Amino acid sequence: MIAQTRADIGLERLVGNQCVHVSVTREFLLKVRPLPLPPERVVLELVGEQTVDAELLVALRDAAEAGFQIALDDFRLSAESERLLELADAVKLDIRELAAGR
């Protein structure tokens, strides 16, 4: 869908010269390779709770090596998710969840 939208409308027409954040899942990163987006204009946001395994880490490393920035969306620190931090350029936290956890 992303590739089709980009081809039909064009990234510039959608967001001008701005960088675009694209929410992605583990499944998307494993199935869509190479990514059909310009790495200099796109931040990949890994959404919520995803299974963190060797396959996902390889896909994220490949994306980072291709020039994509990686953001972790609604990040929650755990033994499993901690491995994602070394690949992340940004981490998004939900302040409402932080306040509720007091």
pLDDT tier at 81, thresholds 50, 70, 90? very high
10-66 pLDDT, tens digit per residue, is 767 777 788 889 999 999 999 998 888 889 989 999 998 899 999 999 999 999 999
What b/e sequence results for 13-47 when a residue is b if at least 16 CB atoms lie within 10 Å of its CB, and e otherwise? eeeeeeeebeebebebbeeeeebebebebbebbbe
What burial class does residue 1 get, using C-beta atoms within 10 Å of its C-beta: 0-12 exposed, 13-18 middle, 19+ buried?
exposed
More confident residue, 101 or 5: 101
* Global pTM value: 0.81
Asked if residue 3 has pLDDT above 70, the reply is no
Q: How far is Cα 65 from Cα 101, in angstroms, rounded to an integer?
A: 36
